[in-house]
Structure 1
Amino acid sequence: MDPFKPPQDSPSPEQPPQPPGQGFGPQAPGPVPGPYAAPGPYTSPPVGPYGPYGPGMPGPYGMPQQSTSGLAVASMVSGIVCCLPPLGLALGLIALPQIKKKQQKGKGMAVAGIVLSSLATLLVVLGLVTGGLGEFWSGFKKGLDDAAAAQSPFSLKKGDCFRVEGKLETYTTDVDTVPCTRPHEGEVTGNFKLAGFDKWPGEDAIDKLAEDRCDRMNSAYALDTWAVPEDALVYYYIPSRQSWRAGDRSVTCAFATEEAPFTQSLRSDASTLDAHQLHFLRTMNPIDDVIAEEPDEDPDADLAANKAWARKMHQAVTSASTGLRGHTWSGTSAEPVEKLAGRLDAAAAKWQKLATAKDSDAYWEVYEDAYDALSTDNESASRGALGLTDTLEDSSGESV
């Protein structure tokens, strides 16, 4: 009998026979409504507060399923990983009697953990005896270090120093970050996002933006320009056409070299300099910026352009002298800085003559004197007193 289907009522002997066309027999055209309709074949038994089975009764599927021993699982995992083989062995030995006592599953896993851990323990002992374990661990650790150092160029952040295998490329999939005290080919000076483009703008357009923005980022990152090697390049990583389609809009700016690797950080900004050093560099650096703007054509070919540049030089030198005198210098730096300001005044007078030269001959007569008045020797004493780089080296490594 189906335990979930209530038995049909049987007519009692005293019950009178039903007339044809009534009741629930096969001849009846349909059930006759009554106050107590019989349950159909899909009617569930009554459900009480404990469900259809009552308190303490097993469910329709019998007893609850067996649980799996957590110790057995841990033993097998420890045996597979082999990092702590004795642990897997101990966990397996503890798990076996508990599995039997609690009627749990996992005996096979516990046995596997014991076997694997025993083998791993034996290998460790052999490694210690033969000395092979140290070599294995060194290789394993190096692999972990290399994996941790590998990064996408676009995950690099300001101040990161990195190595590059082979030649520097504007497109690459990974670089290795290293401490800046170790040899490295590049140092990140900042990042920026490309904006204002609805579609791939082309490499030339990105290059133009990157050159300008990265040049400014590099200048702000390394205010102590004398500490930057002459062969240091303004470098950047840009999106490729393929990475652009995936949403990449990042440009990573850096100093880089294809010659001798850098051996220290090039960073000299507000995060590394004191207030006096910052003021000195921000006052003097504009002179170098204007020097870099000297026209390509000489005064014989374009006197007007050269005179206009000389006027900018005069303004930059005069502003530097004023800026140095407008700051209160501490300690031993006050005297050399005051002397430097006086030499800048003398240089400004020469640049004024260049700016007002009547012809190219008059321009050439003063040109070398104006440059000599800005000799690095005038600046070295002030830099040394302030704790800045006081020797400027050329590409051969010799002082200039």
Structure 2
Amino acid sequence: MAKGSAPGAGADAGAGAGVGQAPVPGPYGSPPPGPYGVPGPYTSPMPGPYGPYGTGAVPYGMPPAPQPATSGLAVASLVSGIVCCLPPLGLVLGLIALPRIKKRQQRGKGLAVTGIVLSAVSSLLMGLGFVTGAFSDFWSGVRDGVREAGSSAESLGLKKGDCFRIDLTSEEPVDDVEKIACTRLHEGEVTGRFKVTGFTGWPGIEAVDEIAEERCDRFNKAYAMDTWALPESAGVYYFAPEKRGWKAGDRTVVCGIVTDEDLFAASVRVDETTLDSEQLHYLRTMNSIDDALMTEPEADADEDLGSNRKWARAVHRAVTTASSELSGHDWTHPADARVARLTKDLDEAARSWHQLATAKDADAFWEAYDAAFEGLAREKEVASRSALRLHAVPPADGSEDDGGSGSGSGSGNGGDGGGEKV
């Protein structure tokens, strides 16, 4: 077999070898015929009405045609028109951008026009604001709100359990307090915080004070349950929002116990987090009697006998309930015997308060008055408190003039600045 000839070819087929000869099959076979019977590689498709690559197409290997740049002045005009403080600048930038866009064949004409329109409207409104004084009032309100926010209860950063130093003699609004460790001498301790709700507008400082005093008194009683451990000068204090702070969104009241004489040398916290079950039950029971005593009417029996008898009935009910709660509890030794003695004293006191509650006239009321209070003398609690490891030294007589726990009222928003003794 001659090299380059097809297998089985005759002599005639060999004439003119190399011209029109079928190619020797390679490993992948012969190339296929062309689309229209023409051998060889495919030809380009017939050009269509838009050329071989279609509309806008770029042949492979050729870079795309450069696009016109967007005008930076047009973008700046739009941004300045949107920003409320820069409308005149946006108007100027837009007017400069339009002729440059046309001259340099740039994009951004729509941005510049939008910036001009927004800037023109904003400039008009700003001019009206200055003429009418609206902007002056607005910025004045912003300044007041920022200034008030600096002295708001929320901004003080006080939370329950924090101890702080404060000048209780100052009548100025409190801008700041010094938080310190409760083991150092301090005037105040935070007992809780809450938000004033239920008002659509500013309710007035009197309404805020009334709410703060009532809620903070409850916080204090729950925080410092052993009222015997408080100094005579201890009272209620709170940080509350004023009108400007209220308009700025401040609704927080921070409550605390303060003293303006005998500073606290340790935390006054005595609650469920520091008491055992026996101590907690005892204080809750006996404090209910104090709460009832504190509701004594301002008008005496000569002026309003009915209100005073109603108050005496409330105290009688609290005393009898306390006796039942104490006797029904299982006490460990030696508290069991001492609490049993106290319950007998309470039963005797209840009889005196019943006489007070059923007095026929003011004279009979006054005759039973002293005996009723003597039945609840603090000294009768000393033994049981000592057995329960509670504070066993009775408060000074001056701190309990109304039979209460020695709490008072004060304000951190420019009020009297200190805890008043009850």
TM-score under structure 1 length normalisation: 0.60
**Match of 2:233, SS?**
coil
Please give the residue correspondences for 1:324-335 in structure 2 after superposition, counting only pairs within 5 Å: 324-335=326-337
Q: Distance in 2 between matches of 1:277 and 1:44?
A: 91
Please give the residue correspondences for 1:234-249 in structure 2 after superposition, counting only pairs within 5 Å: 234-249=236-251
Say which one has the larger Rg.
2
- Give unmatched runs, 5+ long, in structure 2: 1-48, 64-152, 400-422
Instruction: Give the % identical residues.
Output: 49
Q: Is the 8 A contact 1:171 1:240 kept in 2?
A: no
How much does 1:288 deviate?
A: 0.8
2:338 is the counterpart of 1:336: yes
How much does 1:297 deviate?
A: 2.1
Q: Deviations over 1:250-285 (max 9, x none)?
A: 110111122232212111110111100010011111
How much does 1:169 deviate?
A: 5.7
Q: Pick from 200, 220, 223: which aligns with 1:221? A: 223
**Match of 2:334, SS?**
helix
Q: Deviations over 1:333-377 (max 9, x none)?
A: 111100000000011111111111222222222211111111111
Higher relative contact order (CA 8 A, sep 6+): 2
Q: Which residue of 1 aligns with 2:402?
A: none
Q: Pick from 358, 361, 367: which aligns with 2:360? A: 358
Q: Is the 8 A contact 2:312 2:357 kept in 1?
A: yes
Q: Pick from 307, 311, 314: which aligns with 2:313? A: 311
Q: Which residue of 1 aligns with 2:302?
A: 300
TM-score under structure 2 length normalisation: 0.57
Q: Which residue of 1 aligns with 2:257?
A: 255
How much does 1:330 deviate?
A: 0.9
Q: Distance in 2 between matches of 1:211 and 1:320?
A: 27
Q: What code does the residue aligned with 2:314 have?
A: K
Q: Which residue of 2 aligns with 1:206?
A: 208
How much does 1:196 deviate?
A: 2.0
Q: Which residue of 1 aligns with 2:178?
A: 176
- Give unmatched runs, 5+ long, in structure 1: 1-31, 48-150
How much does 1:165 deviate?
A: 4.3
Q: Pick from 373, 377, 382: which aligns with 1:380? A: 382
Q: Is the 8 A contact 2:154 2:250 kept in 1?
A: no
Q: What code does the residue aligned with 2:175 have?
A: T
Cα-Cα RMSD: 2.8
Q: Distance in 2 between matches of 1:306 and 1:33?
A: 107
**Match of 1:251, SS?**
strand
Q: Which residue of 1 aligns with 2:284?
A: 282
Q: Distance in 1 between matches of 2:59 and 2:244?
A: 63
Q: Is the 8 A contact 2:326 2:339 kept in 1?
A: yes
Q: Distance in 2 between matches of 1:299 and 1:36?
A: 110
How much does 1:44 deviate?
A: 10
Q: Which residue of 2 aligns with 1:270?
A: 272
Does the C-alpha gap of structure 1 residues 168 and 273 become closer, same or farther in structure 2, counting only changes over 3 Å?
farther
**Match of 1:155, SS?**
coil
Q: Is the 8 A contact 2:191 2:219 kept in 1?
A: yes
Q: Is the 8 A contact 1:290 1:312 kept in 2?
A: yes
Q: Is the 8 A contact 1:314 1:351 kept in 2?
A: yes
Q: Deviations over 1:215-240 (max 9, x none)?
A: 11111111111112221111110112
Q: What code does the residue aligned with 1:261 have?
A: L
The count of corresponding residues between Structure 1 and Structure 2 is 261
Q: Which residue of 1 aligns with 2:404?
A: none
Q: Distance in 1 between matches of 2:372 and 2:365?
A: 10
**Match of 1:191, SS?**
strand
Q: Deviations over 1:165-185 (max 9, x none)?
A: 463568322211111111111
Q: Which residue of 1 aligns with 2:194?
A: 192
Does the C-alpha gap of structure 1 residues 207 and 35 become closer, same or farther in structure 2, counting only changes over 3 Å?
closer
Q: Distance in 2 between matches of 1:250 and 1:382?
A: 40
Does the C-alpha gap of structure 1 residues 168 and 325 become closer, same or farther in structure 2, counting only changes over 3 Å?
farther
Q: Is the 8 A contact 1:343 1:373 kept in 2?
A: yes
Q: Distance in 2 between matches of 1:233 and 1:34?
A: 95
**Match of 2:369, SS?**
helix
Does the C-alpha gap of structure 1 residues 312 and 180 become closer, same or farther in structure 2, counting only changes over 3 Å?
same
Does the C-alpha gap of structure 1 residues 265 and 395 become closer, same or farther in structure 2, counting only changes over 3 Å?
farther
Q: Distance in 1 between matches of 2:171 and 2:189?
A: 14
